[in-house]
Chains A and B, each alone.
Chain A
Amino acid sequence: MIELTGVSKQYFGQNRVLEQVHLSLNKGDFLYVVGGSGAGKSSLLRLLATEETPTHGAIKLFGYDLQKSSARQLRSIRQVIGYIPQSIQLIGDLTVIDNLELSFKLGGSKITGTQSRARMGELMDRLGLTSKRDTLVNQLSGGEAQRVAVARALVRNPEMIVADEPTGAQDLEYTWAMMDLFVKANLGGTTLVIATHDREIVKRVRKRTAVLKQGKLIVE
Chain B
Amino acid sequence: MFLIKLGMRPWMKSTFSQMLTGIGLAALVSIMGVIWQLDRKLGPVVRKLNREQTVTVFLKPIDHAKVEANNEKSFEIVDQIRAEIGAKNLDVKFTSTADFLAETKTAYPDLYQELDAGGAEVQALLPEFVTVSGEIRPEQIEKLKTFEFTESIDSSRQKFLHAAGAFQALRWIGRFFLVGLLLTLASGILHLSRILGYFHVESTRVIKQWGGGFWQLRAPALISGLSLGAFSSLITLAIWVGLGQKMVILLQGLSPFLKDIEVPQSSLTVVMAAASLFVGLVSGWLSSQFALSDNLRRN
Contacts and interface: CB of A to CB of B under 8 A. Distances in A.
B206 interface: yes
A53 B296 CA distance: 11
Given A79-B211, A80-B211, 4 more contacts: A75-B212, A98-B1, A102-B2, A103-B210
B86 interface: no
B213 A75 contact: yes
A94 B6 CA distance: 8
Contacts of B203: 91
Contacts of B5: 93-94, 98
Interface in A70-114: 75-81, 83, 89-94, 98, 101-103, 105-108
Interface string A113-156: 00000000000000000000000000000000000000000000
Contacts of A91: 6, 202-203, 206
9 contacts: A49-B209, A53-B299, A78-B211, A79-B211, A89-B205, A92-B202, A93-B5, A98-B1, A106-B216
Contacts of B162: none
B13 interface: yes
A98 B206 contact: no
Interface in B166-212: 202-203, 205-212
Interface string A43-82: 0000001111100000000000000000000011111110
A160 to B, nearest CB: 13
Given A51-B299, A89-B205, A91-B203, A101 B210 contact: no
A83 B210 CA distance: 8
A161 to B, nearest CB: 13
Interface string A22-56: 00000000000000000000000000011111000
B9 interface: yes
Contacts of A101: 1-2
A92 B12 CA distance: 13
Contacts of A83: 209-210
Contact of B209 (A51, A93, A108): A51
Contacts of A81: 211
B295 to A, nearest CB: 10
A139 to B, nearest CB: 14
Interface residues of A, number: 27
| 10 nearest A-B residue pairs (beta carbon) | A79-B211, A78-B211, A106-B210, A98-B2, A106-B211, A102-B2, A91-B203, A106-B212, A75-B211, A93-B9
A36 B23 CA distance: 55
B210 to A, nearest CB: 4
Interface residues of B, number: 20
Contacts of B9: 93
Contact of A89 (B2, B206, B212): B206
Contacts of A78: 208-211
A94 B2 contact: yes
Contacts of B206: 89-91, 102
A24 to B, nearest CB: 24
A102 B299 contact: no
A98 B12 CA distance: 16
Contacts of A108: 211
A108 to B, nearest CB: 7
Contacts of B2: 94, 98, 101-102, 105
Of the candidates B203, B205, B210, B216, the one having the most CB atoms from chain A within 10 angstroms of its own CB is: B210
B65 to A, nearest CB: 96
A83 B208 CA distance: 12
B210 A93 contact: no
Contacts of B213: 75
A59 to B, nearest CB: 13
A106 B13 contact: no
A89 B298 CA distance: 14
Interface in B1-50: 1-2, 5-6, 9, 12-13
Nearest to B9: A93
Nearest to A82: B210
A75 B13 CA distance: 30
A168 B149 CA distance: 110
A53 B9 CA distance: 31
Contacts of B12: 93
Interface string A156-173: 000000000000000000
A89 B1 contact: no
Contacts of B211: 75-81, 106-108
Nearest to A104: B210
A107 B212 CA distance: 8
